[in-house]
Amino acid sequence: MATVEPRLYKGLQDYLPDQMAARQRIIDRVRAVCENHGYVPLGTPAMEYLDVLTGTGGEEATKQIFSVNTPEEELLGLRFDQTVPLARVVAQYATLPRPFRRYACSQVWRADKPEKGRFREFGQFDFDSVGIDGPAGELADVEIIALMCDAMRALEVGPFEVRYSSRAILGLLLKYAGVPDRLATKRVTRVATADGKEQFVTEDVWVEGTDVFRVLDKLEKVGLEKVRKELTTGYKPEPGDPIPGLGLSGEQVERIERFLAIKDKSRTVVLTKLRGLFEGLEGAAAEIDRVERISKRLYAIGYGDDCVTLDLSIARGLAYYTGPVFETVLLDAPQYGSVCSGGRYDDLVLRFHGERLPAVGASIGIDRLLAALTELGRIGLRKSIAQVLVTTMDESLLDEYLAMTFELRRAGVSTEIFLAKKGFGKQIKHADTQEIPLSIVCGSDEHARGVVTIKEMSAGKAISAQITDHAAWKQTRPGQTEVPRGEMVQAVKHLLGM
């Protein structure tokens, strides 16, 4: 029989038990916050019809969709986010309440370039409000930002910032900078020649003026100099294919840079400077007022400049955003970029059945956040979720060990019984290496006296590693408590702080 090399496709990862347990703790805490805010759970398939997915997140998102081969040869794709499936669900099920506030946690797939904290398959935890417009819609924007803050606090991520801006403000930036709706530029494409080699071909193309947002979204990642080049002539990174420019003039870019230079920790100061820059610009006052109302309401409910800032450079890469947009950065791990982001997308449902249904939401990148918290040492990676190991020293007492195990489990204590035929020392080492806090020890002597010994694994760890048999362990008895058999459960729960 031929063997197959065990391997993973690039950008994918296995979740070993310690990672999976930590990942689940993140999910559980965020779910609790969402339910505290009154959100309900929703699940959708991993695959959608390709025409459902394409044309929603913009050209870049469409390029990243993994297509799926089906027996019926229908065109399907793996979802690249959970927002598009939500829009499809809301359009498909007229019986859903309006507004509809849901959370969802599932895997998504993007053919992105794998790098630190960025994968091709990754988990997202989304929370969205659909069907809330007008003044109440602004309250929904505030609620999403507050939920993002509450989730970060529940996860104990350390110092963080939820940064927000508005796509409408960026639309005003295009007007201020004199950027037209469509731009004539050049696109460089790598093509194969007849002899099997590759060459770059340059062609004249039209791009949307809103492509400026896509470039600005790279600002924190690539820096101002490369953003400036991409807005104008383009550049050739090393290594990599040429990055085409949008063809903006120096004056247009200078105006964009004036806008980007408006920065301050105080949201109030940023708004004051923005009003000065856009003074006299048609439509500017109303949009700035909207952003200011969000800020004032956040102040009123306790979300100050220490956790929510106004960052005018935020654009978000997906094309469906129409209003306020949000990003969350861990201040001790900025290299991971945004770990929770989103915004308002009022027109996404429109493409499914012609009804404009406003919506706003955000998404936590579970795997990126886990990678960041692991590097920061702010999430424990335990190898086992068991709180107690029941050792099995005497084969004649197996029924008693089984009874102990189920007494503990029924009392709400996560318990593992050691089932392999190994000596006492190896059983204790198993509890140690798997980071199980407590071990229950009951040999023939303890059983005859009607007692059990509870061993705290963190105490006497170095001594335990040298013990090879029960007799040696009885002489040292590191970190242990002997209790009557009938008081075992109560004593275990006391030691675990339950």
Average pLDDT, the chain: 89
What confidence score (pLDDT) does residue 354 get? 78
**Chain-centroid distance, C-alpha 335:** 15
CA 354/CA 301 separation, integer angstroms: 36
CA distances from 292 to 117, 271, 285, 322, 324 (A): 33, 7, 10, 17, 11
pLDDT tens for 431-485 read: 999 999 999 999 999 999 999 999 998 875 655 556 666 666 566 666 788 999 9
The average pLDDT across 364-376 equals 93
N- to C-terminal Cα separation, the chain? 52
- pLDDT tens digits along 278-325: 999 999 999 999 999 999 999 999 999 999 999 998 877 667 788 899
SS3 state of residue 126: strand
State the pLDDT confidence band at 151, using cuts at 50, 70 and 90: very high
Q: Quick one: pLDDT band at residue 382, thresholds 50, 70, 90?
A: confident
Tokens 């550049």 belong to which residue? 235
Domains, the chain, ordered by start: 17-161+302-376 (3.30.930.10), 388-496 (3.40.50.800)
The strands making up 40-41's β-sheet, listed across from edge to edge, are 40-41, 100-109, 121-130, 359-365, 338-344, 324-330, 160-166, 308-310
For residues 410-434, average pLDDT: 92
Q: Which two tokens stand for residue 22?
A: 């930590």
DSSP string, 21-67: HHHHHHHHHHHHHHHHTT-EE----SEEEHHHHTTTS-HHHHHTPPE
Using pLDDT thresholds of 50, 70 and 90, give the confidence band for residue 58: low
In angstroms, what CA-CA distances link 213 with 62, 74, 189, 315, 407?
17, 34, 22, 5, 60
What stretch of H or E contains 286?
Answer: helix 284-300
For the four alpha carbons of 76, 81, 87 and 90, in that order, the dihedral sign comes to positive
How many Cβ atoms sit within 10 Å of the Cβ of residue 359? 28
Q: Give the side-chain half-sphere CA count within 13 A for 89.
A: 20
Closest CA to 205 of 227, 188, 230, 192: 188
Report pLDDT digits (tens) over 153-167.
999 999 999 999 998
User: Does 421 have pLDDT greater than 90?
Assistant: no
Question: Residue 100 pLDDT more than 90?
Answer: yes
- DSSP letters for 187-235: EEEEEE-TTS-EEEEEEEEEEETTHHHHHHTTHHHH-HHHHHHHHTTEE
What secondary structure letter does DSSP report for 335? G
Q: Which pLDDT score is estimated for 420?
A: 86
Q: Tell me the pairing of strands 67-68 and 76-78.
A: antiparallel
Of 220 and 224, more confident: 224
Phi then psi dihedrals of residue 307, to 5 deg: -125, -20
Please name the residues in contact with 89: beta carbons below 8 A apart, sequence gap of 6 or more. Answer: 42, 44, 96
pLDDT digits (tens, 9 = 90+) for 12-21: 989 999 999 9
d(CA 485, CA 408): 12
